[in-house]
Copies of this chain bind each other. A is one copy, B any other.
């Protein structure tokens, strides 16, 4: 990313909407941005009517002037293509560009993201506006890059317009070639669903009882992802064909989208919008809730899309729409903490959202750095201070790499299939969070790694430990790769419901856990959902009895070298194996016939061999440890998510880069404070 953005240090910036404000405010705004140390400003991503007020008539004056003023204050400009909000003239004249609900209700003008990806007329109008804009700004040295659209698949990630139905049919034809192959993949023999003509094939439509063919439903998600990526690709191709000086990205992380594929195929790097304050409207009643620290899980996921990344929207105040989303105001210190959280996980460029709170529209409560009235406030001060700190230290962290010796494996197949499968879908998130918490609270940095069909051993062998909680869909080739990983010395952990489905989401006609059965050396003798109707069974493991939740698989040992390290209690399968461990080659393979929670993950963590930095720090669980490496040098970032002071111990001597002083021994971290140590 360093090469792409052409920077030598972490840069800050802000999102700005000149079209919202009287022209007389602009210069002072840019001047104050410069004073705050900002170098980047993002503009124009919702401004289609400004650029093309009448169909085919293009105007650039407003933004030309804004960019000129930005340049005066040494700001680099990122332009957004405005396709997330088609103008009223467009949707009124071409209503077929609109997205439609499954039941046929058209989504109209008035909110955002109301278009569909597959309308030919929308693609054509989008191409024209993008082409016009890029042609206009391609030689403007202030404009350094492009954000395509805005938050792809945000707001809504299902599409049922006529164009989508038609395109889905083509997509399926291309994928399956013949209807026989499609019928087989979708198991249409069940309930007489067999297709005998391609024109019978649609995206899911309203059915009795809202029950759709689950295999078709899985393909529907893949199709949505492909459609979105194709739409991004169209714009990316135009930009890249016109300019090689300006980079291309988009911002997001939303559902039904293969972000890895999109980044690889269409973007120079990935940009994420980080709003940890959402934790204040999301209930999390779990033991040791992650709250704003959950964004470290999100950032770890983003990091996997393509290494270091940008933040295009870093929370700068409370967020809220008029009729939904009502976030309290961040507490003193949190905006700074969250900025460093982004940097700790791999952000090399951070833009705050946004300069000033809008006085009109659905988002008048999505607060910017400045309030509506531009009067001084606490947020401006805190971000100014943060900016000064980053300017002092950034060359050492910029372009460094996050160091993790453990990884949680995920994949889109299970994520999308699990969305509608109540027999394992919920476990994916529960176990992922449980493991992330366990790693976090024990100060073991962890990556989130996406499993693909062309993944190599090299990508995995860097990790001491892999956790792949509930990969219901697990192919033979993935099983082989994971077996190689273990044989060469890796440790892997699987949970219940592993390996019983094929790539179409159909169940294998073979003993569970399917293709990894030989690796783990067990098979599933019997299983049951636990839905709270009766007392949940317990598992005796590592000398303690722990209640299980969600699902139980009773294991049967099939191979040599399997240690039964956990057995069931309080149920009719009392004393049967629940947790096993097998030495395979130089490594170990664990299988747990249940869903993971924090307690179980923590116990397993103690049984595993993994670097935990205990020789360097003694940290409290409220403090996150991130480790970064650059040219052989290690930098440690400590983040305190608690409103309480934390007493920690630094076992050696280190330099605190934020304060330019040596620290050692017992140290106190203030509420929401950050330390960067070298």
A-to-B contact residues, CB < 8 Å? 19-20, 46-50, 53-54, 82, 85-89, 92, 99, 101, 103-114, 155-156, 186-197, 199-200, 202, 204-216, 280-281, 318, 320-324, 326-329, 331-332, 357-365, 372-375, 377-378, 420-423, 500, 504, 506-511, 525-531, 533-534, 572
Q: A328-B528, A529-B329 are in contact. Are A20 and B107 (CB under 8 A)?
A: no
Point out the residues of chain B lying under 8 angstroms from A373, CB to CB: 508-511
Q: How far is the CB of A308 from chain B (nearest CB, A)?
A: 31
Contact B533 A212 (CB under 8 A): no
Point out the residues of chain B lying under 8 angstroms from A196, CB to CB: 49, 53-54, 87-89
Contact A326 B194 (CB under 8 A): no
Point out the residues of chain B lying under 8 angstroms from A530, CB to CB: 328
Alpha-carbon gap, A373 to B513, bound state (A): 12
The one of B87, B111, B199, B531 that contacts A194, using a Cβ cutoff of 8 Å? B87
Point out the residues of chain B lying under 8 angstroms from A420, CB to CB: 322-323
Contact B324 A211 (CB under 8 A): yes
The list of the 8 closest CB pairs from A to B, nearest first, reads A187-B360, A190-B361, A329-B528, A111-B207, A85-B192, A108-B205, A49-B194, A88-B200
State the main secondary structure of chain A at its contact with B: loop
Point out the residues of chain B lying under 8 angstroms from A211, CB to CB: 110-111, 321-324, 362
Alpha-carbon gap, A527 to B328, bound state (A): 9
Point out the residues of chain B lying under 8 angstroms from A572, CB to CB: 331-332
Nearest CB in chain B to that of A330: its residue:
B528
Contact A48 B209 (CB under 8 A): no
Q: A92-B199, A323-B422, A365-B423 are in contact. Are A191 and B111 (CB under 8 A)?
A: yes
Q: A112-B191, A326-B531, A373-B511 are in contact. Are A200 and B362 (CB under 8 A)?
A: no
Alpha-carbon gap, A621 to B322, bound state (A): 38
Q: How far is the CB of A54 from chain B (nearest CB, A)?
A: 6
Identify 21 residue pairs between A and B in the complex whose beta-carbon atoms are under 8 Å apart, listed by A's number: A20-B189, A87-B194, A88-B188, A101-B206, A103-B105, A105-B206, A106-B206, A110-B207, A114-B207, A114-B208, A191-B362, A211-B321, A212-B362, A213-B362, A281-B533, A318-B529, A323-B422, A328-B529, A359-B509, A364-B507, A377-B525
Alpha-carbon gap, A214 to B358, bound state (A): 13
Q: How far is the CB of A481 from chain B (nearest CB, A)?
A: 24
The one of B194, B195, B208 that contacts A156, using a Cβ cutoff of 8 Å? B208
Alpha-carbon gap, A196 to B59, bound state (A): 15
Alpha-carbon gap, A550 to B509, bound state (A): 52
Q: A92-B197, A359-B509 are in contact. Are A156 and B209 (CB under 8 A)?
A: yes
Contact B88 A193 (CB under 8 A): yes
Alpha-carbon gap, A365 to B193, bound state (A): 18
Point out the residues of chain B lying under 8 angstroms from A85, CB to CB: 191-193
Q: How far is the CB of A190 from chain B (nearest CB, A)?
A: 3
Alpha-carbon gap, A227 to B669, bound state (A): 63
Nearest CB in chain B to that of A112: its residue:
B191
Point out the residues of chain B lying under 8 angstroms from A20, CB to CB: 189-190
Contact A280 B531 (CB under 8 A): yes
Alpha-carbon gap, A318 to B526, bound state (A): 11
Point out the residues of chain B lying under 8 angstroms from A377, CB to CB: 525-526
Contact B329 A527 (CB under 8 A): yes
The one of B188, B281, B526, B529 that contacts A327, using a Cβ cutoff of 8 Å? B529
Alpha-carbon gap, A20 to B190, bound state (A): 7
Q: How far is the CB of A595 from chain B (nearest CB, A)?
A: 14
The one of B50, B155, B327, B509 that contacts A374, using a Cβ cutoff of 8 Å? B509
Alpha-carbon gap, A20 to B155, bound state (A): 39
Alpha-carbon gap, A422 to B89, bound state (A): 31
Point out the residues of chain B lying under 8 angstroms from A190, CB to CB: 20, 46, 358, 360-363
The one of B107, B204, B318, B364 that contacts A208, using a Cβ cutoff of 8 Å? B107
Contact A210 B323 (CB under 8 A): yes
Q: How far is the CB of A525 from chain B (nearest CB, A)?
A: 8
Alpha-carbon gap, A53 to B461, bound state (A): 51
Nearest CB in chain B to that of A114: its residue:
B208
Point out the residues of chain B lying under 8 angstroms from A110, CB to CB: 193, 204-205, 207, 211-213, 216
Nearest CB in chain B to that of A367: its residue:
B527
Point out the residues of chain B lying under 8 angstroms from A507, CB to CB: 357, 359-360, 364, 372
Nearest CB in chain B to that of A194: its residue:
B49
